[in-house]
A and B are shown apart, each in its own frame.
Chain A
Amino acid sequence: MMISPETKLLLRKLRRNRLAMIGVVLVSVLVLATVLLPWVLPWDPNKMDVRNALQGSSAAHLLGTDQFGRDILTRIVYGGSISLRVGFYVTFASLILGVGLGALSGYVGGMTDVVIMRGMDALMAFPGLLLAIALVAAFGGTMTAIVIALTIVGIPRFARVVRASVLQRKESDYVLAARALGKRPTVILVQDVLPNCIGPILIQTTLKFPTAILGEAGLSFLGLGLPPPAPSWGRMLNEARSFMEVAPAAAIYSGAAIFITVMGFNLLGDGLRDVLDPRTQSARR
């Protein structure tokens, strides 16, 4: 689809939203760092060098080394790519399945709606972390298992948001007008209903990302993430805990990485919500 003038206006509004722009900067820096720094940094993230363990920052090791003498900056950068990949896969999968189920539920209605929404309720009522632990325990600590676990936990909220906004758009004048033109229900769903739900879907997408990253960090903190020596942030934080008093660097930096990433995406998501909120849009009429 082309960039509509409406989208341009939203982008301009987003640019004026300071917090959202901070979010954009944080996210961009993060993405650039995980993509570019591995080419620049001389260290192998998993190569141990016990003689240089638990060092402070130096010219060679900008953020110091961990208990096995591995370069912390390098591990954080590689860990970032794990986090972003998990975040991306989980968000993408929840987006597809959540939009599919939510749209089906809201658009078709009736028994379909009841069955899907009760299913989502059941998933929601189940403690998310417990479900994830059970799944990872069953399938082992692979990327696929982690993504599946976090996706299942992530779908219900997505489906609900989409369903609510489909229900609303379904009653709109342009949908009635489209029916009067003789458009088929599926075409109406794809052309008229879903494109107008893009706002809530976009917000939910940006907010899903940090949740997924936090979820992965949580699992690996509990030892249920990718197995060692994978440089996952949650595991790094956990391992660094034992040396917190002697060498707090590893704990501080991996914690900060999680914090900044989640913060960046949340700021962006909140900014989008402000911009897309119809109550702040009235000036456009």
Chain B
Amino acid sequence: MNTAAEIELPENDTAVLTVRDLVVRYDMDEASIHAVNGVTFDLAPRETYAIVGESGCGKSTVALSLLGLTPIVGGEIVLDSARLTEMGRAEMARVRGHKIAMIFQEPMTSLNPVLTVGYQLIEAIRLHTSMGKRAAREHAAKMLGRVGMSDAERRLRQYPHELSGGMRQRVMIAMALSCNPAVLVADEPTTALDVTVQAQILALIDQLREEFGTAVVLITHDIGVVAETANRIAVMYAGRIVEEAPTAALFADPRHPYTRGLLASVPRVDRVPDGQPMPTMEGSAPSMRQLPEGCPFRARCSHSTEKCETDPPVRVGEGRMVRCWLYE
């Protein structure tokens, strides 16, 4: 496995978040699940960094790890020059929701059903600020306005089930941004929403990223979703980043065979399929319980050779990275 020293990403002193060789394992009774196997990336201030990949490749695990909510067994996470991976529980709780915040896939179930929107929002604000109740309430109303919810006073008194999915996701975003975090982690924030609402929420996140100066880690399994908002895209496969590139470069010149497969399966208006079935990739990802030696993609790859039975090299240059024997 490659270490951080070998990978040598363009060293970036200004990075707001640095992840090096992150390894996460879920220990179950019978086996352990190797959910993340050495993930490395930097997040520049105000950047939108997208992580895409199939279901089960470890995207959510990376996201939760950034907040210290997974069993991390190796690697390092540095946020604003603070080493999160070395913090104790209490210290980490002060960082969560304050310096780094997260929104989730299921807005319908991510709010406590028995508490009002206002209560939950005010609580989130007061966790990390010294604001009094009244000041926090004013701030809460202001936050609802900023996420595009009119009639904030009434909204504060409502219960989650009185709001639509899109509105609830706005509330989640308001809670996440209420303490002005340096990094916002959005784990499939639009997957559970209607198509029209999806676009609105993505646009909102992008707009707030500008306004709050927050950097965003945007996770999705649908590469089409991030084409417009992401500055850079990382493609994940079986717990690793196999390719990382600026968005335009990735779409114009995908290098890893898996990335090419992903892009080919995105429906596009300029390539009307004429009733042909959408191309999909053959086979399925290897089990995270028992990862094969070498490149985990090789069983599905049309370019695979004997070399692929050993760990593929990492090639870095032109602001992009690819992990494949084709680019030795």
Contact = CB atoms under 8 A, between A and B. Distances in A.
Interface of A: 1-2, 4-6, 172-174, 176-184, 191-192, 195-196, 198, 284
A8 to B, nearest CB: 11
Contacts of B238: none
Given A5-B162, A6-B161, A191 B115 contact: yes
Interface stretch (B71-79, B123-131, B266-274, B303-311): B123-131
B87 interface: no
Given A174-B110, A196-B112, A6 B104 contact: no
7 contacts: A173-B106, A176-B104, A179-B96, A182-B95, A196-B112, A196-B114, A198-B114
Given A173-B109, A195-B114, A196-B114, A183 B102 contact: no
B1 interface: no
Contacts of A173: 104, 106, 109-110
Nearest to A188: B112
A2 B141 CA distance: 20
Contacts of B109: 172-174
Please report whether the interface of chain A is mostly helix, strand, loop or mixed according to DSSP.
helix
Nearest to B90: A184
Nearest to A196: B114
Interface residues of B, number: 30
A182 B97 contact: yes
The 10 lowest CB-CB distance pairs between A and B, nearest first, are A182-B97, A182-B96, A181-B97, A173-B109, A180-B102, A177-B110, A173-B110, A195-B114, A174-B112, A182-B93
A195 B93 contact: no
B69 interface: yes
Contacts of B102: 177, 180
Contacts of B98: 182
Contact of A182 (B64, B110, B113, B128): B128
Contacts of A176: 69, 104, 110
A178 B67 CA distance: 12
Contacts of B26: none
A190 to B, nearest CB: 12
Interface in B119-162: 123-124, 127-128, 159, 161-162
B162 to A, nearest CB: 7
B217 interface: no
A4 B159 CA distance: 8
Nearest to A183: B127
Nearest to A9: B161
B94 interface: yes
Contacts of B24: none
A196 B112 CA distance: 8
